Structure 1
Amino acid sequence: MRAVVADDHPVFRAGLRVLLEDLGVDVVAEAGDGEEAVAAVLRERPDVVFMDLQMPRLGGIEATRRLVAEDPDVRVLVLTMVADDDALFAAVQAGALGYVLKGAGQAEIGRALAAVAAGEAVYDAQVARRLRAFFTAGAGVVARPFPELTDREREVLDLMAAGLPNATIARRLFVSEKTVRNNVTAVFAKLGVRDRAEAVVRAREAGLGRS
């Protein structure tokens, strides 16, 4: 079995490589950010992609979304420290087949790896409980869009989607225009978009900009 490991912490990548090699997995490439991950996966076409969520340049959720759009058969297993519901549901919505927390042991990671490689969805016990709670809570529960963004970045994106320029956003949020520009730049990077127009389209598709 062949795998690509995407995580911005070299020490964690090295440890995961050793663990996977003990399981008989050939780690064909490593990536330190989402952009590198997308390139490595499209180049190597591995059986499974181990994807962290919080990475520079491009987060794991957007990287997963890009990979699934490029190849619907790609099999992404999220391995992350992020346990909040928004990130979980966003990852699943982006196309990840599995979601396992970094505290998982070798046996649990091995089972998740085998399941995802076979095209099956798999979640560790804690994540599975959260999913059950979400789906039994009723249709009124809605996951927050773009969990990779900070609250302020999401607020700026919402106002961008409403058609407001930076100067107006700055006045609305009682911050400087420079702060708004910095937040806009962070939004572009995390969502993997090239410009304001693309960011606004993504935001409106997610229901932002209506307030």
Structure 2
Amino acid sequence: MTAAPELIRVLLVDNHTLVRAGLRALIQNIQGIQVVAEAGDGREALRSLGEHQPDVVLMDIAMPEMNGLEAAAHVVKEFPLVRVVILSMHANEEYVLQALRLGAMGYLLKDAGISELELALRAVCQGETYLSPAVSKHVVSNYLQRVGNKFSSSTQLTSRQREILQLIAEGRTTKEIAELLYISVKTVETHRMQLMKRLDIFDVAGLVRYAIRTGLVISDN
């Protein structure tokens, strides 16, 4: 007798309840894969990881407080055995490369079919990298050539600076950021000054535009 394949345990992370419900319904039809928990943002996802111990985190990019890219970096660092698959409506090469650089194993577009979803989840559990076919390999290759294989400025920021940049771009005040991150107002101001200097951007509007361009936040327009 052959042993039954191990169950793949999935944590769904998306700030839209209906999207999570739809994904859960799809995954229920895939043999050997089970949704063990859901989260509405990156911070909630990190809290759920230790409790539910999933094999894969299937996560959107555009979420409040901590987006999927920043959460992916935390998952890779704090839970190295957990695979991250980014689920996004954006095929933008900047988002794709940012996700891979931060440690995501897969990048799946939201218009993918159930067979592609299954393929992505199984591939990353086998240690492979999975990109949706629509995220064409030549686009990724051209991007790497264009930037000379160097990280973008946003990847050169510290994890804390990226967190603060996202919260600034979401319109949070210095006091609100301090309370959310459990740090002092003075520490927030120091990080803000340092990231402005690092990016050579010294106004909030410029920071917002930069955060949108690099995928830390998604524009509603």
Q: Same fold (TM over 0.5)?
A: yes
Q: Which amino acid aligns with 2:112?
A: A
Q: How many Å separate the matches in 2 of 1:188 and 1:101?
A: 31
> Does residue 114 of the first structure (1) align with residue 105 of the second (2)?
no
8 Å contact kept, 1:89–1:143: no
Paired residue for 2:112?
104
Instruction: Give distance in 2, aligned partners of 1:71 and 1:180.
Output: 28
Q: Which runs of 5+ in 1 are unaligned?
A: 147-153, 158-178
Report the 3-state secondary structure (helix = DSSP H, G, I; strand = E; otherwise coil) of the residue aligned with 1:90: helix
Specify the alignment match of 2:11 in structure 1.
4
Q: 2:55 aligns with which of 40, 47, 54?
A: 47
Greater mean deviation of Cα atoms: 81-90 or 37-46: 81-90
Give unpaired runs (5+ residues) of structure 2. Answer: 1-7, 156-161, 203-221
Alignment length (residue pairs)? 179
The 8 Å contact of residues 134 and 141 in structure 1, kept in 2 or not, is answered as: no
**2:199 is the counterpart of 1:208:** yes
Distance 1:106 1:71 in 2: 27
**Deviation at residue 70 of structure 1 after TM alignment:** 0.7
Judged with a 3 Å threshold, the aligned counterparts in structure 2 of structure 1 residues 181 and 124 are, in CA distance, closer, same or farther, namely: closer
Q: Secondary structure at the match of 1:127?
A: coil
Q: How does 1:73-152 map to 2 (within 5 A)?
A: 73-129=81-137, 130-137=139-146, 139=148, 143=152, 145=154
The equivalent of 2:37 in structure 1 is 29
* Equivalent-residue separation in structure 2 for 1:196 and 1:3 (angstroms): 38
CA distance 1:140–1:90, shift in 2 (3 Å): closer
- The residue number in structure 2 matching 1:15 is 22
Q: Return the letter of the residue paired with 1:208.
A: L
CA apart distance, 1:112? 0.7
Q: 1:196 maps to what in 2?
A: 189
8 Å Cα contact 2:59/2:87 also seen in 1: yes
Q: Which amino acid aligns with 2:144?
A: F
Paired with 1:182 and 1:36, the residues of 2 have a C-alpha distance of: 20
Aligned to 1:169: none
RMSD: 3.5
Identity of aligned residues (%): 34
The one-letter code of the counterpart of 1:9 is H
- Return the offset for 1:133: 2.4
Q: CA shift at 1:95, angstroms?
A: 0.9
Runs of 4+ in 1 over 3 A off after TM superposition: 140-144, 179-185, 196-201
Q: Report the Cα distance in structure 2 between the residues aligned to 1:101 and 1:188, rounded to whole angstroms.
A: 31
